[in-house]
Amino acid sequence: MIEEQTVTDLFQIIVLDDNASTRNLAKCTLERHLNCVTRVCSNASDLFKLSEQSQPDLFLLDVDLDDENSLEICQNLRSNPETGKIPIVFLSKYDGPEKRVAALKAGGVDYLDKPFYPEELVTRIKNHLEIHRLQLNIQNQVNEQRALLRVLCHDLVNPIFAAQSLLSLRISNGKMDTPAANRILGCCNTALDLITHVRDENVLVSKNKQFTTEIVSVADAIKESVKTLSNRFHKKGVKLVAKADPNAKISTNRIVLVHNILNNLITNALKFSYPKGEVQLHAYIQDDTQCVIEVIDDGIGMPPEILENLFEENAKVSRSGTCSEKGTGFGMPLVKRYVEKNSGTIEVESSERQESQDGCTEGGTTVRLRFPNHN
């Protein structure tokens, strides 16, 4: 038996058999000996409906359906991205090798005879369920590792670029004063914080745990982000206006909020703004329950095809900025990932820049984040 599982950890099994006695016996046997919820059906239509309602961990299919071809059902499940990797175990009252081979070729992972021996059914199903969950955990860890590598490749650019810019400025002026040295030291410390965060989160991911959260002042996080990025705005000639309600607080990790979320959004806004343009950063409390953070620019905006795929990791949405700045396309998928991990939502409104009839330019992008507010 599986120890210390919550209700959400229950295995989900769907049984398809046109014999009521067989499917009910399978349900009773599995639910008695496994920590699972077993749903039964007698036709393919009901099976597909059940699989849409809740993602199953295993299908148990009768090979010998009277009115339907179970091998075709298996192939349909295999061809569907939502169910393609879910294990399928067959039941059959015939023990001929031809049918067994056909079932395995169709995508089944195992084959049991009817009438089944209860202990054998439970043992085999339990093994396939645990293998399936293990594979899901491995894939989740792989996805997390990929995201962390992107953090290293992408988010470290901001503090390192700030340090490099300050050093270049001091060297070109032939002097190195204490305030500049302190700012450089701050940027280097930020880079070290990011590296430490990635290492710590990598350990947590390997143990299938989440990073520790704290109540973070959004105003303080914005100040830290602005301090890191102010030189880049000055260099491009873009104005950055920040205004935050001091009572806005969210439960998160400070480094995640500043570097993985805010810095990504602000540098994106800078990248697509024209010199002498303006980026606004607002944070306020809405309805006493939500903390809303907005990053607004009056830049070039996004066409519909880019806006539609903005958060797709494999979509090619990267493009050059207004001063030929290069991008990776990793930023917005990372932001969405971290926002949602902190119980938040993200929405983007954008229109391409164009001149109106009175000669004024219109366009730009607004990114809006919503988090539960913690007073």
Domain stop point among 193, 211, 229 = 211
Please, what is the angle between helix 218-236 and helix 263-271, to 10°? 30
CATH number at residue 315: 3.30.565.10
The answer to whether residue 144 sits within a structural domain is no
Whole-number pLDDT of residue 159: 76
Side chain identity, residue 295: V
Domain check: are 184 and 227 in the same one? no
The neighbouring-strand residues paired with 296 are: 280, 366
Domain stop point among 138, 168, 198 = 138
Domain check: are 223 and 354 in the same one? yes
The answer to whether residue 299 sits within a structural domain is yes
Pairing mode, if any, of strands 110-113 and 11-16?
A: unpaired
Q: By the 8 A CB rule, do 228 and 262 touch? A: no
Domain check: are 172 and 238 in the same one? no
Q: How far apart are CA 218 and CA 199, in angstroms?
A: 24
Could you list the beta-strand ranges (E) of 156-237: 214-217
The CA angle 350-227-146, to the nearest 5 degrees, is: 60
How far apart, in Å, are the Cα atoms of 247 and each of 95, 139, 261? Answer: 70, 39, 20
The answer to whether residue 2 sits within a structural domain is no
Whole-number pLDDT of residue 131: 92
Q: How far apart are CA 88 and CA 60, in angstroms?
A: 6
Domain check: are 207 and 303 in the same one? no
Domain check: are 118 and 231 in the same one? no
Q: Which helix (H) or strand (E) holds 183?
A: helix 178-206
Whole-number pLDDT of residue 251: 93
Number of domains in the chain: 3
Please give the average pLDDT of every successive group of 10 residues along the chain, which has 375 residues.
44 92 93 93 92 91 83 91 91 79 89 90 93 87 75 70 73 67 70 66 59 88 91 92 95 88 93 94 94 95 88 74 79 88 93 70 89 89
Backbone angles phi, psi at 243, to 5 degrees: -145, 125
The answer to whether residue 282 sits within a structural domain is yes
The answer to whether residue 148 sits within a structural domain is no
Whole-number pLDDT of residue 271: 93
Domain check: are 297 and 338 in the same one? yes
Q: Which residue range(s) make up the domain with 33?
A: 7-138
Q: How far apart are CA 121 and CA 137, in angstroms?
A: 24
Domain check: are 323 and 343 in the same one? yes
Domain check: are 290 and 167 in the same one? no
